[in-house]
Amino acid sequence: MTGTNVRDVFIKIGVVAILIAILCAGVYWLLNDRGIIGSAHEQPCSTVFILGPGMNSRTINFDDNPELSARIDRVVNTYGFAAIVVADGNPASQTRVFDFSVFRPSAAERIIEDDAIKETLVRVRSHFFDEMKNAHSQAPERDLVEALSIAARILSSRPSDEIREIVVLSTGLSTAGFLNFTDDNAWLYSDAIEIIDTMQSNGSLPNLNGITVSWFQMHDVCGVEQEVIPGTQRQNLEEIWRLFVARSGGEFIIVEEHPGRGIYEGLPHVTPVEILSAITGVIVHPEQADVQRGTSYDFSALVAGYGITAQDVEWSIDDSSHPETVIDDNGRLIVAPNDPRESIVIIAVSTADPRVSGRATVRLREESLSEAVVREITIFPDDIILGTASPYNVFDINAMVLGDNNPSQAVRFELTGNNDPGTRVDSNGRIIIGSSETSFILIIRVTSLLDPSIYAEVPVRVFAEAPDTVEVMFVGDSSDFICEEQARNTAGEWVEFIDSQDRGIYLFGCTAHTGNDYLDSVSLGLERAEAFKELLVREFGIDPSRIITMGLGYNNPWNRPNGIRGTPSWNAAVAATNRRVVIMSADDDFAISIYNGTWR
C-alpha cells in the first residue's frame, strides 16, 4: 500500500470519528434536553412526610407551597422512596410507604417511550399528592416524638448513599407521648437543654444520623381551638425541636412559613396547650400622679417576669375623648390646657405579650407643681442568685426612681465585691458573671443621677456550677415524680457513681417558693430528697447510710427567681424548673459548704 493510500485511509477514519462524535453529542443534547439522561443519573431520594393535622392547627397549604412541591418532585422524579406518617395519637397505625423505583424505565424505554414515561410520572405524582391531602388524623391527640421515631426507623433501612429527609408539617405542639406540651411539667416554658438531656438519658431520642429534618408550619396554630403562641414561647418551641434533632444526629431546617388557609373540622380531639406568659406584669411608674394642664409628664414602665429583656410597651389613654391630650411612644403625657376632665388613666401594654398591661391614674390640676424630688429607689428583684456558667450567668435588673413631681429615671449601676474582671454590670443594669468568679456575694448599687445622695443596693449571690449533679422533676407542691420510669432510669445511671464515693453522697431536695413560709419549702425539699433516696434503696439496693439528705427549699444555688405566689411576680413555668433533686459527692467542697450553710 502506497503512502497516498495510507493517508486516504486515515483521513476516512478521522471523518467517520468526527461524524460519530457529532452524532453522540447530538443524541446526548437531545436526551438531556428532554430530561432523560439527567434524571437517570440523579441521586435517589428517600423522604418520609410527617403530617400533623389537628383541630388546633391550620389546614396544610399544599397548593401554594413551592418548597413542599420541590421535595415531592425530587422523590418522584428520582424514582426514590417515600412514606407518609400521620402524627396523631397513634402514628404507627397510619403509615404508608411508596416505592417509586418500580416505575423506573430501562435505558431503551427512556429513549423510545419518553412521552409515556413523563405521563406516568405526572400520574404517580398526582396520586401521591392526593394521598398526602387525604391523610387525616384518626386517633385523638398528636405524638410527634413517636412519628419522628417511626420515620427514623423507616429511613434506617434505606441505602446510605441515598438522600434521606424527613419533612414535617405540624405546629410542633405535641400533645401525647413523652414530649407532651399539655402536661403540668410546662415543657413549652422549660429550658430546652434540660428537656433534651432528660430525653437523651432515658433513650427517647431517635437515630437521625445522616437525615435532614425540614419543618413546615412550625407554631402555625389555628387561633380558635389553640391560642396563638407568643414570640418568646415560639422561640423556645423551635429551640426544643432544633436541639431534639441535633442531639439525635440530624440536620434541622425550618422552612419559610406558608400559612395554612383554614381550620380543620371533624377530626379527633387535640388538647389545646395552655399558653402561659413569661411576663407576669407591667408596672407603671408612678401609679398616681398630679399633672398641671398645659404641661407634660414622663411615665416609665417596668415589664416584670422571668427572663424578660423586652421592656417595650405600647402607651395609650383609656379615654381619648380630648384629641390634644396624648401620650407618645416614650411614655411622655402631654395634657391640653383646656382639658376639662378631673382625671385620666394611662395604659402600658407589653408588646411581647399584649395580654399583660399596667395602669396609672393621672389627676389634672390648674396650679403649678413643685420641682422634682427623689425619695427612694426600688430594685426588681431585690435578691439575685446567679452562677458562673451559662445560662445562669446573665441577668437584667430594673430600677425605679420614686419621688415627687416626676423625678428623672436616670441611674448609675455600680458593682463591688467581684474578683474576676469579667464580672461586670453595664449601664442598662445587665449583670454578667465571669467564669472565674469565686466571690460568693456581690453588691450592685443603683444611684439616682438627679440626686446622688439617694441610692439602693441589691445582693447578688454567686455559685459555681456543681460538676456531679442530676435533676429529677417533681409534681408541684409534692414529692411525687412527674414520671416514675424516668426517675428510675435516671437513678440507675448514678448507681456506679454513688458506689464509687468513699464517703457517700449528699442528696439535696429543692423546690420553688411555695408561700411566704421558708420552712415549708425546706420541708418539701427534704421530702423530695427522701423520695429519691427511697427509690435508690428500693430499686438498686444502695446502702441508705451512704446517702445524706437535706432540704434546701427555694433558697438554693440552683434556684431561678420565680416570684412569690399570690403576687404578680409569680411564674408557674419557672417554678417547675426549680423542682428537683441534686446528687453531689460527699467529698465535694461545694457540696460540703451547701450542707453547712456557708456557700453564700
Of 539, 476, 477, 542, whose CA–CA distance to 507 is shortest? 542
At residue 553, the pLDDT reads 72
Do 146 and 249 fall into the same domain? yes
Do 351 and 388 fall into the same domain? no
Q: Which residues pair with 326 in a beta bridge?
A: 334
Cis-peptide, bond into residue 381, ω within 30° of zero: yes
Is pLDDT at 43 greater than 90 in this prediction? no
Do 127 and 208 fall into the same domain? yes
Question: Is 26 within a domain?
Answer: yes
The count of domains in the chain is 5
Of 591 and 75, the one with more pLDDT: 75
Q: Give the number of residues written for the chain.
A: 600
Residue 422 sits in a domain whose CATH number is 2.60.40.60
At residue 574, the pLDDT reads 59
CB neighbour list of residue 18: distance below 8 Å, 6 or more residues apart: none
Do 205 and 112 fall into the same domain? yes
Is pLDDT at 52 greater than 50 in this prediction? yes
Of 195 and 574, the one with more pLDDT: 195
At residue 320, the pLDDT reads 80
Is pLDDT at 565 greater than 60 in this prediction? no
Do 74 and 163 fall into the same domain? yes
User: What distance in Å separates the CA atoms of residue 177 and residue 595, rounded to the nearest whole number?
Assistant: 38
At residue 37, the pLDDT reads 44
Is pLDDT at 466 greater than 50 in this prediction? no
* Cell, residue 122: 405526572
Under 8 Å between Cβ of 241 and 50? no
At residue 282, the pLDDT reads 86
Question: Is 100 within a domain?
Answer: yes
Do 365 and 419 fall into the same domain? no
At residue 41, the pLDDT reads 46
Do 222 and 234 fall into the same domain? yes
Q: What mean pLDDT comes out for the span 156-168? A: 92
Of 193, 167, 196, 166, whose CA–CA distance to 179 is shortest? 196
Q: How confident is the model at residue 39 (pLDDT cuts 50, 70, 90)?
A: very low
Strands (E), 351-410: 357-365, 373-380, 384-387, 394-396, 398-404
Q: How confident is the model at residue 345 (pLDDT cuts 50, 70, 90)?
A: very high
Query: What digits encode the pLDDT tens for the residues 581-591?
Result: 888 888 887 78
Is pLDDT at 570 greater than 60 in this prediction? no
Query: What digits encode the pLDDT tens for the residues 265-280?
Result: 888 989 998 877 667 7
Under 8 Å between Cβ of 176 and 141? yes
Query: What digits encode the pLDDT tens for the residues 88-123?
Result: 999 988 899 999 988 888 776 666 667 788 888 889
Query: What digits encode the pLDDT tens for the residues 281-332?
Result: 788 888 888 888 998 888 888 787 654 456 789 999 998 888 999 999 889 9
Question: Is 323 within a domain?
Answer: yes
Q: Can you give the residue range of the structural domain that contains 320?
A: 279-369
Do 70 and 210 fall into the same domain? yes
